[in-house]
Amino acid sequence: MGYSNLLVLVFLSWVLFIPGAHQLQNSQTNVLLQLRNYLEYPSSLEIWENYSGDLCNLSSSPQLTITCEDNSVTELKIKGDKLANVSGFNGYAVSNQTLSESFSMDSFVTTLTKLTSLRCLSLVSLGIWGPLPDKIHRLSSLASLDLSSNFLFGSIPPKIARMVRLQTLVLDGNFFNDTIPDWLDSLSNLSVLCLKRNRFKGQFPSSICKIRTLTDITLFHNELSGKLPDLSSLTNLHVLDLRENHLDSELPAMPKGLVTALLSKNSFSGKIPEQIGQLRQLRHLDLSFNLLSGMPPSVLFSLPEISYLNLASNKLSGSLPNHLSCGGELGFVDISTNKLIGELPSCLGAISDKRVVKFGGNCLSIDMPNQHQDSYCKEANLRGKQFSGIRLGELVGVIGGAVLVMVLLAFGVCILCRRYRSQETVEQHALPKVVQDNSPAGVSAEFLANARYISQAAKLGTQVALVYRLFSLEELKEATNNFDQSTLIGEGFIGKLYKGRLENGTDVAIRSLAFLNKNSIRNLKLHLDLLSKLRHPHLVALLGHCIDVGVQDDSCASKVFLIYEYVPNGNFRTHLSENSLEKALKWSDRLANSNWCCQGCALST
């Protein structure tokens, strides 16, 4: 028995003190394995399970791409299957949707930032939840950051301003609920800014207009309100998507290179500026569902590249000139539900396979059932003029009745009120989270030996699949009644051993280690991951760990806790050398045990 025990110790010592021959690649591999642990083993990373080669050598797939240079990861793309499609997310973990409650965004990003050479990072639909920590900026080589379709909330952290290499920032489909920061112009190389499907509120930050490199701005489906500034300085902008917000100014001047402008479902008012007629590359213009008035500029229809023009559901009035010409590319026009009168221009009226035209809900003088009477549109036009304060006298003259004016005024007030949409207020709760480092660590052989107790489960031959995870300090405090003296079951030269009970009723042994310097922690981290995979009925399983971070920086961690499955009946040695006969193992059992041990080692190696 002594011999086999020694074997275990030799094996474990070897595990704990592997020389750092391929330091760089090993540590990077370690970080990747840790990230998998944090992400709770998503199916996209299943391929790592039985793969013993270099992770950089895996062929890339839509779910996973790893690219390396000089033994460092430069590109990491993981796509999961957890769609961020929860309407009631309020900042807490949601079962089957987000990662579990024990996930800590802060620790996750701490680990992530160890991939210091990363240039491209994409973590999509992985159920990641929490506020985005400031320390993400430590990935200073990053040119592309995509964290779409997760459960991030709060604000875009200010230190992102230091990531001057960023060219692409994509945070689509999260729950960001602060304002869009006004310092984005610090990202002087930014070309793609996609923040769609979040809850960003406040104004469109005017500093965005200073980022000349921008080609795409997508802020679709947020809660932005107020004025849209003059964007004409963004000479490289091709795509502007501001649909489904509450922007309520007039339309500003647009940059000349714009190809796609999607501004529907806001509260833009006033006339459509003639300046849009100068956008020679414009292909796709959607201004529908706003409060735009006046005559649409004829030139919109004849822009050389225009193929999609949607002006539906506004308050456009007047009559389009009959000689209006349509651009050669124009395939879809929607002018329905406005206040247009007169004839339908011939290029829109001609029945053609090439072009779809929608014009219902106006007052056009054509023989179609879905047009209103002229008077409907004229009244609306007059009302429109009244509200913009133009020619009130003329209005009175035309209507010729003060009583009617009063009625119209009242009606107008109603319409004005409707423009101020009530904004949703979402009740959300602040989320207290324990700061904890999640990097695996190694353990000295001595205390591992001390922590080994004969497991009841092992005796019964049962083996439960145990998942290694990270524990929070709060959790451990709760399990041990704040490390109460009564839960202390042993004390040695390397630390204390406590018995505790987790929330789910599992009994655990918690070993606390005090660390003296950074190096021992680093050493520990290198090997914990390996230890976490030792699973055998005859080995006490390490269930997880917790690093108590005294200060923000994990290099200053003050304490490490290792959580083992709890095995009653004292430690192994007492059963071999115990004086009291009933506790000591019989020789037949000892022989059987030594067999287990050897098998255990062999299997684990």
Residues contributing to the site for ligand NAG (CB under 6 A) = 46, 49-50, 53-54, 57, 83, 85, 90-91, 95-96, 153-154, 164-165, 177-178, 189, 428-430
In the bound complex, what is the minimum distance in angstroms from residue 154's beta carbon to ligand NAG? 6
Cβ proximity to ligand NAG, 96 vs 577, nearer residue: 96
Q: Which is nearer to ligand NAG, 153 or 572 (CB)?
A: 153
Q: Which is nearer to ligand NAG, 186 or 278 (CB)?
A: 186
Which is nearer to ligand NAG, 5 or 186 (by Cβ)?
Answer: 186
Q: How many CB atoms lie within 10 A of CB 517?
A: 9
Q: What's the min distance (Å) between Cβ of 213 and ligand NAG?
A: 7
The Cα 314–Cα 335 span in angstroms is: 9
- Choose between 71 and 319: whose C-beta lies nearer to ligand NAG: 71
Answer whether 301's CB lies under 8 Å from 325's CB: yes
Q: How far is the CB of 489 from ligand NAG (least distance, A)?
A: 36
Distance of CA 174 to the CA centre of its chain: 5
Rounded to the nearest whole angstrom, what is the least distance from the CB of residue 87 to ligand NAG in the complex? 7
At position 37, the amino acid (one-letter code) is N
Q: Which residue stretches of 359-465 are H helix?
A: 374-387, 392-399, 402-419, 445-451, 456-459
Q: Output the CA torsion sign for 253, 255, 259, 264.
A: negative
Q: Least distance (Å) from ligand NAG to the CB of residue 168?
A: 11
Q: Which two tokens stand for residue 507?
A: 């009994």
Nearer to ligand NAG, 323 or 429 (CB): 429
Q: How far is the CB of 421 from ligand NAG (least distance, A)?
A: 18
Least separation in angstroms between residue 431's CB and ligand NAG is 6
The token duo for 259 is 């190809």
Complex with ligand NAG: residue 54 or 589, whichever CB lies closer? 54
* Residue sitting closest to ligand NAG (CB): 428
Amino acid in position 424? E
Q: How far apart are CA 434 and CA 525, in angstroms?
A: 19
**Best CA proximity match to 136, nearest among 103, 101, 102, 171:** 171
What are 495's two structure tokens? 């630390």
CB of 90 to ligand NAG, least distance (A): 5
Q: How far apart are CA 343 and CA 43, in angstroms?
A: 60
CB of residue 170 vs ligand NAG: minimum separation in angstroms?
17
Within 8 A by CB and 6+ apart from 363, the residues are 339, 340, 341, 371, 372, 373, 374, 376, 377, 378
Q: Which is nearer to ligand NAG, 177 or 225 (CB)?
A: 177
Q: Which two tokens stand for residue 187?
A: 């990202």
How far does CA 406 lie from the centroid of its chain?
A: 52
When the beta carbons of 21 and 430 are compared against ligand NAG, the nearer one is 430
Query: In angstroms, rounded to a whole number, what is the distance separating the alpha carbons of residues 510 and 513?
Result: 10
Handedness of CA 100, 105, 108, 112 (dihedral sign): positive
In angstroms, give the least distance from the CB of 73 to ligand NAG: 14
Q: Give the CA distances from residue 316 to residues 239, 271, 363, in Å, rounded to whole numbers and listed in that order.
A: 25, 8, 11
Which amino acid is residue 136, in one-letter code? I
- Is the dihedral angle over the CA atoms 411, 412, 414, 415 positive or is it negative? positive
Rounded CA gap, 94 and 432, in Å? 16
**374-387 and 402-419 are packed helices; what angle lies between their axes, rounded to 10 degrees?**
80
Nearest Cα to 247, choosing from 230, 269, 224? 224
Maximum distance among all alpha carbons in the chain?
Answer: 116
Check if the beta carbon of residue 187 is closer than 8 Å to that of residue 211: yes
160/140 Cα distance (integer angstroms):
9
For residue 464, what is the enclosing H or E element?
none
DSSP 469-523: EE--HHHHHHHTTTT-GGGEEEEETTEEEEEEE-TTS-EEEEEEEE--SHHHHHH
- Closest residue by Cα to residue 445 from 1, 3, 7: 7
If the CB atoms of residues 175 and 453 are measured against ligand NAG, the closer one turns out to be 175
189 vs 520, which CB is nearer to ligand NAG? 189
Question: Least CB distance from residue 425 to ligand NAG, whole Å?
Answer: 9
Nearer to ligand NAG, 95 or 579 (CB): 95
Nearer to ligand NAG, 68 or 259 (CB): 68
Choose between 56 and 441: whose C-beta lies nearer to ligand NAG.
56
Instruction: State the minimum distance, in angstroms, from the CB of residue 113 to ligand NAG.
Output: 18
Minimum distance of ligand NAG from residue 442's CB (angstroms): 23
Least distance in angstroms from the C-beta of 215 to ligand NAG:
11
What's the min distance (Å) between Cβ of 85 and ligand NAG?
Answer: 4
Is the CB of 154 or the CB of 500 nearer to ligand NAG? 154
Angstrom distance (rounded) from CA 336 to CA 473: 61
Compute the C-alpha angle 583/448/563, nearest 5°: 95
